[in-house]
A and B are shown apart, each in its own frame.
Chain A
Amino acid sequence: MANLQSDFVGIKSPNPFWLASAPPTDKEYNVRRAFEAGWGGVVWKTLGSEGPPVVNVNGPRYGAIYGADRRLLGLNNIELITDRDLYTNLEEIKRVKADYPDRAVIVSIMVPCEEAAWKAILPLVEETGADGIELNFGCPHGMSERGMGAAVGQVPEYIEMVTRWCKQYYSKPVIVKLTPNITDIRKPAAAAKAGGADAVSLINTINSITSVNLDSMSPEPSIDGKGSHGGYCGPAVKPIAMSMVSEIARGADTRGIAISGIGGITTWRDAAEFITLGCGNVQVCTAAMTYGFKIVQEMISGLSEWMDEKGYSDISQFRGAAIPNVTDWQYLNLNYVAKAKINQDLCISCGRCFAACEDTSHQAISMSEDRVFEVIDGECVACNLCVNVCPVEDCITMEAMSPGTVDPRTGKVVEPEYANWTTHPNNPSATAAE
């Protein structure tokens, strides 16, 4: 049986599934329940400075995007950091960590961008015995208007500066949580690395308005007829998160820094995908908020079963395995030629491939009187849209053409050699192949 034990920058947990800093980790009661359910670690909901706690709105905090049967695909929120007293949180963290020494307990922190503020809170956190801290440089709403959260995360110089303070005043691992509300995710990651961060975690939530009420003309969630952009999360953001993770994993200035993957992780498979893109562990929030803490059991059994099937005994054996295959467009093999193939035994004749191809693509699917749909190889550019819109798994597949055969669309022989845009004759700045 696969070993799911996780060692993330020296922080050990029985599995790589942590709960992200968010409502589910706001207090001792929830965190104890999470650990009982099997979560490997938690990042405690973000603590602020000593003094009167922040206040939250007293109306709806969440908005949602649904798929079929009200399946929640995306969630946004306008909740702020913990609205409970700092010392209450610290005492609870200390108690929980003492009772669950094998689990990871990370404390998320967000205080003003001043050295004194960090210097004040870090010893208090150190004293709880927690395993590390996560710097909340990502929260996109409310706190950012006060110069914290994403307002820091969007300025690489601030990130580096604050990270440095944390490494100076705190002895355990420092994880910097990044906001995706930025043009190039590698810049803040590089800043964190330069500041001495042990790891980055990403993504935090994305600026979003989930919907507009067409009667009241208010964005949702609506507070007395007004709305504010919230942070978007859930399954819908996973592709964005994975792309950003991969950028950091392979970036020249960021390569090698430990990554805690966050963003729409809902099943073991999502977690495995993030790990193949270089994540040392993953953090989950929306899935737990949708289904409860029990989902971690499926994540544990699923990841374990898949690892056994693949012969992996340890997570590190496949961590980053997909990174060598993430490349720039210009390096993709232009001599690779594929054609769509429709399995007539599986086809249910819905015609969606035809509508998509005929109306919006390359007119490469024919339709007969008796609703037989066939690919016209002479027109097919292998765009994959038919595969994507087909409601039947594996009914349409992309089949690579063998080298030496002739592509009926171009009339050219499929070449066996790899050749990309950098050497393509149509490229004005092409360099001669060596």
Chain B
Amino acid sequence: MAEMIKLFVNGVEVEVESGKNLIDALKVVGIEIPHFCYHPALGADGNCRMCLVGIEDGRPPLVPACKTPVAPGMKVQLDTGKIKKIQQDMMEFQLINHPIDCPVCDQAGECTLQDYYMTYDAQDSRMTVPVVSKGKKMDFGCGVVHDQERCVLCARCVRFTRLITKTGELGIVNRSDEARVTTFPGRPLNNRYALNVVDLCPVGAMTSQDFRFKQRAWFLTRDKGICHGCSKGCNIFIDHNREKYKDDIIYRFRPRLNEQVNGYFICDEGRLSYHAENEGRLLAARVDGKDCSVDHAVQAARKALGPKILMLVSPECSIEEMIAIKALADAVGTKLSGYSDGYIKAGDGDGWLIQDDKSANRAGLAKLGIDATKETFNGALNSSDAVISFNNDLFIHDTGSEFRQKLEKMKVIAVSTHNNTLTQNAAIAIPVASYSESSGSVINKDGILQHFGRAVQKNTPLADMTQIAGMLGSPIVTESDIASEMKKVLPSLTEVIPEGGLKLTESEAAHVPA
């Protein structure tokens, strides 16, 4: 915990953390200092001049808040006529050459320029001379589209490629009001985090090819989620909307700040993984190639359950789902495997956010003592005559003919969120809700336990996997049963999982199943 110091804002004493700049320190106590160029992940640049504040008896008396560390006894002026005039003037300068095309701009509704105009400017235009024209809808690569006229030259995107990805594709060329952000000729954006510049851009200058013109920002419901693209468990916002006469679908993922996990950013692959929540889903239950009700499919599956059935769980499943499935395996008296080598893309990770392991909860498997080795799996497979898979697509692990022949002789039951090779080859297929449509907890590769809530509400909701497990005969399916079971395996978990996640203790994280 940092040291607390006292200073004055508009004559009122406030207590803030030392070591921070004025923008960050005062934000914590609910005082906003407007700014475009400053971003906590990118540091202070000081070019937008929007955060100029007065310091009574200060030398100099006018300073950029982003570059000014808090000091005890400092007398900060934000509400003087002089400061308000400066804020209005800076907004006027930002807007004189801006196209003001909000009606067709994707940023409208979540645009700093719009918000600040209403708060700090609100005057009519005095611009009676021609505006500067610059480049429009420029393809910057990686699905980033740039509009130079909307740009406020805050250089956040430029600094992102220089300081964060260290790829440096972006730069500002030219001087004066001809200055503009651009790429070098023939060298477009080429990094796996490029779409973060869209979030970083405080205005509509950077838009995502994937999202633009799909949805107005104010129609979107923003729910908190955890990305299931890999074992990092990046925190995201799931922005979704149910349009009239249509179903609730996801329009985009955006990064959500979690200093402990992903900071301010997510990778492009994870960001675009929302498509898989909308598309390619298994929606109807099937028995022997014929669509049927979920109840009917579950009854058919129940008949197949017995000691000779191999249960397979996916490292994508939440802890709660794994607990219910494990209890089911115990009740049925059969083996449970978490074999899932196919989820690992060796060498794909980059040591930052992107991981080799493309599953969200492999650590959860280990925590519950579910064996995931190929040897045990193969042994179990040989001694079984049926397989029930919980969202684990066996065919991505091993598609050799020997394996296929083995499976063909077995009765295959697939409980799945998506249509895939396994569901196509399964005698019984049962659809379940995916992670954006259900709630649960996952443990990331660093041993951080995180909870996510239900975001999307489909018109016809699919059953949760725990529910299906219960229908199949699992004794642990109620929320309270699962919660008490979770506390048993995770001693660190005494209360609810805190926002930002719970770092499990060393021994818990390193726990290896017997």
The yes or no verdict on A and B being binding partners is no
User: Which residues of B approach A to under 8 Å, CB–CB?
Assistant: none
User: Which residues of A approach B to under 8 Å, CB–CB?
Assistant: none
